Amino acid sequence: MLSTMRPGPLLQRLRSDPASRNSAYMIGSQVSIAVLQGLLFILLASALGAHEFGRVASVIAITSVFLPFAGMGLGNVAIMRISRGQAHAAMSLGNGLAVTAVTGTLGVLVAMLIGEAFLHERGTWLLVLLFGISEILMTKVVDLAAHVFLGLERQGVTALFYNLLMVVRLVFAGALFWGFTTPTALHWAELHLAAGVLSAVVVLFYSVRLLGRPRTGYQTVRNDIGKGFLFSVVIAARSVHTDADKAVLARIASEATAGAYTAAFRLVYMACTPITAVLLSLQARIFRRGDQRGLEGSLTAVRRLVLIGGVYCMLLAVAIYAVAPAVPWLLGDSFDLSPDILRSMCLLPFLVIAQAAASDALNGADAQRRVSTLHTLTAGLSVVLNLLLVPGHGWQGAVMAAYASQGFLVAGLVLTILLGLQAQRKARAA
C-alpha cells in the first residue's frame, strides 16, 4: 500500500521547480531564524534588563553602520555576477574575504572612535571593539559565503550558514542567562565574539570543501568594487535609518527607554520575516530578469510577492496590536514601555516590505546609483528627524521619525520606478 502512494502536488512542485524549492528553503530558514532570534531576544532581554540591553542596542546601532562596508558590497555583486554567468564562485569568495579583512578592520577602528565620542558610559570602547570584531568581521564572513551560494542558487547552503550563526549565538546566550549571576553588556560582548569566531571558522571550512580554495584577482576587484560600494551604501543607509533612533534615544532619553524601544522594534522586524525570506530567495532571479528585460523584468519577479505582502501586513497589524500588552510579561517589568511603542509601530511593516521590494527591483535593473541616493537621503532625514523630535517627544518622536523617513523612501522609490518604466517604454518605441 505504501509503495503505491504518490507525493502530493506541493511535494511534486518542490521536487520539479527549483524556484519553488529555493523559496521553500529560504522561508523555512527565515522562519527558523525568526524563532531563534525570538529565543535569543528573550534570553538577552531577560538576562540583561532594559538598561544593559539598551547599552548593547546603542553599540550595535553604531557597528551596524560599518558592517555593510566590510567587503564593499562584493557579496551582493557575487549574487549578480554568478547568477548571470559572469564570475566564478571561488574567485568571488576570495575577493570578498580579502577586501573584508582590510575594510572590516578599518570599520572597527572608526566605530570605536565614534562610540567613544557619542556614548559616554564607562568601558564603551571595549564594547565597541568586541561587538565590532564580531559583527563587522566575523558576521560578514558568514554573510559573504551565504551570498556566494545565493548566486549559485543553492539556497539550502545559504540557509545552513545563517541558521548555524543563530544557533551558536543562542547557545552562548543561554550560557549568559544561566551562567552569570548578574550578566552585563560586556559579558554578552565577549560571548558574542566567541560565537562569531566559531561560526566563521565552520562556514569557511565548509565553503572551501564545496567550492575549492578561494582565489583572488586584483583586476576583478577593481572592476567590481565601484558597483559593490553602491550596494554597501544602500545597506549602510538602511542601518542608519533603522538604528539611528536607538542611538539617539540612548544619548538623549535613557538606556532603559532605548532598550524598551529596541525590543518593540525588533519584534516588528522579526514579524516581517516570511516576506523578506521569499524576497531573499528571489535575488538571483531578480538580477537575471533585470539583465534580460530591464526594470519591467525585475518587477515581474517581485510583483506577486508585493501583493501577498500587503495582505500579510494587514493581518500582522491586527496581531501586533492585540499581543502588544504581553511584552512585559514575556521580557520583564523593565520593558513596561514596550507595549505602547509596539502598538504605535503596527503599520510600519507596510513601509518596510514596500521599500525592500522596490529597492531590489531597481537593483536588479542596475539602478543601484539611484537606489543608493534615495537610501542615503533617507538616512540623513532619519538622523535629523530623530535629533529634532526625540528631545521633545521621547520615544514617540522616534516612532514619528521612523514613519516619516520610511514613507519618504517608499515615495521616492515608487517615483523612480514609474520614471524608469516610462523611459524604458519610450526607448523601446523609438
pLDDT digits (tens, 9 = 90+) for 288-324: 888 888 888 888 888 888 899 899 999 999 998 998 8
pLDDT digits (tens, 9 = 90+) for 132-184: 999 999 999 999 999 999 888 888 898 899 999 999 999 999 999 999 888 99
* Residue 427 scores a pLDDT above 60: yes
Identity of the amino acid at 413 = L
Instruction: State the average pLDDT over residues 97-110.
Output: 93
Cell of 9: 502536488
3-state SS class at 359 = helix
For 254, residues 6+ apart whose C-beta sits below 8 A from its C-beta are 54
Grid cell 516588528 — which residue?
Answer: 268
CA-nearest of 155, 383, 187 to 277 is 155
pLDDT score for 11 = 53
Kindly indicate the confidence band of residue 198, based on its pLDDT and cuts at 50, 70 and 90: very high
How far is 257 from 54, CA to CA, in rounded Å?
7
Of 58-72, 116-130, 401-415, highest mean pLDDT: 401-415
Share of the chain above pLDDT 70, in %: 94
pLDDT digits (tens, 9 = 90+) for 211-261: 999 988 888 888 888 878 888 888 888 777 777 887 788 778 777 787 788
CA dihedral over 389, 382, 415, 313, signed as positive or negative: negative
pLDDT score for 330 = 77
Instruction: State the average pLDDT over residues 91-103.
Output: 92
Question: What's the first-to-final CA gap in the chain, in angstroms?
Answer: 64
Instruction: State the average pLDDT over residues 80-96.
Output: 87
More confident residue, 284 or 265: 265
* Residue 103 scores a pLDDT above 80: yes
* Residue 9 scores a pLDDT above 70: no
3-state SS class at 390 = helix
pLDDT digits (tens, 9 = 90+) for 11-22: 555 555 565 676
Identity of the amino acid at 388 = L
H or E element, residue 110: helix 89-118
pLDDT score for 8 = 55
pLDDT score for 2 = 41
Of 24-33, 340-349, 402-411, highest mean pLDDT: 402-411
How far is 367 from 235, CA to CA, in rounded Å?
15
pLDDT score for 430 = 66
* Residue 275 scores a pLDDT above 90: no
Chain-wide mean pLDDT for the chain? 85
* Residue 200 scores a pLDDT above 50: yes
Kindly indicate the confidence band of residue 62, based on its pLDDT and cuts at 50, 70 and 90: confident
Backbone angles phi, psi at 17, to 5 degrees: -115, 105
pLDDT score for 357 = 92
Share of the chain above pLDDT 90, in %: 36
* Residue 25 scores a pLDDT above 60: yes
Kindly indicate the confidence band of residue 354, based on its pLDDT and cuts at 50, 70 and 90: very high
Residue 32, number of CB atoms within 10 A of its CB? 17
H or E element, residue 263: helix 255-271
How far is 73 from 172, CA to CA, in rounded Å?
29
pLDDT score for 23 = 65
CA-nearest of 211, 337, 186, 250 to 58 is 250
